[in-house]
Amino acid sequence: MKIALIQMKGTVENDENVAIAVEQIKVAAANGADFVVLPEMFSCPYKASNFPVYAQRDGEKNWQALSSAAKENGVYLVAGSMPEECEGKIYNTSYAFDRNGNQIAKHRKMHLFDCDIPGGAFFHESETLSAGNSVTTFETEFGTIGLMICFDIRFPELSRLMCDRGAKLVIVPAAFNMTSGPNWWEIMFRTRAADNQFFMAGCAPARDETASYVAYGHSIVTDPFGKILGELEEKTGILFCDLELDQADSFRSQYKILKSRRLDIYSLKETGN
């Protein structure tokens, strides 16, 4: 399969951001992409106070535009993430669509990003967002795919639960900042890939130095050995990578990390909805 990560720079206008995304989906499909991924909160400026203002319900215009883009271009689409309003709560939500535009997965960010770095970033998602409570995987013609959002990657339990469900690729719309990005972006993707012996793909916004929240960029794909297969820099662009997901099985047969676990001593149990 060929995956395309769209690293785009957003504006303050929801409709303009969606139009940019739809156009880039067309470009990715024209270059042979099977899977297309958008960045975290691509539809609005990444600021906690913006999320309730830009939030939409399931099935509203953003959802419709992205469903149509998947169908018209015949691609699987992980539509980054957007603020979702549901029963008075706001979520950081990622939708996945199949080649026919059908929604096949929905992930609400489970771990909300709060940080207060002296001389650096101050950001509290918990001021306006509620946390999701579901581990999200979905089935495709290429195998099982996991879906998480940004800060979710910092918690190894979530990746392992996806691994236990049979995921061979985990997709992560994310927006690390200029403190967390240089320190941990590559480390997180390489480590989660190597620990679970699957592919990881992280799609980030392009860097905008004038924004209130400056994203690191560097959209990335890593293989089950933890090797970086491709990575952008900070500017807008599309990262294309050809993946053979069955390589995950090959890697697992060579290095028997998962089979060597001592489940007689420790275990990880999935709970929640």
Q: What is the pLDDT of residues 61-75, one digit of tens each?
A: 999 999 999 999 999
Catalytic residue among 9, 84, 106, 109: 109
Q: Is 241 a catalytic residue?
A: no
The pLDDT of residue 148 is 98
Q: Is 150 a catalytic residue?
A: yes
d(CA 216, CA 218): 6
Catalytic residue among 9, 44, 125, 150: 150
The pLDDT of residue 271 is 85
Which among 202, 235, 207 is positioned nearest to 37, based on CA atoms? 202
Longest dimension (CA), the chain: 54
User: Contact, 40 vs 80, CB < 8 A?
Assistant: yes
If you ran DSSP here, which 8-state letter would residue 213 be given? S
Look up the pTM and report it: 0.95
> Within 10 A of 74 (CB to CB), how many other CB atoms are there?
13
Examine the pLDDT at 122 and tell me if it is beyond 70: no
Catalytic residue among 40, 84, 125, 234: 40
Quickly state the pLDDT bin for 120 (edges 50, 70, 90): low
Examine the pLDDT at 134 and tell me if it is beyond 70: yes
Q: Is 13 a catalytic residue?
A: no
Amino acid of residue 45 = P
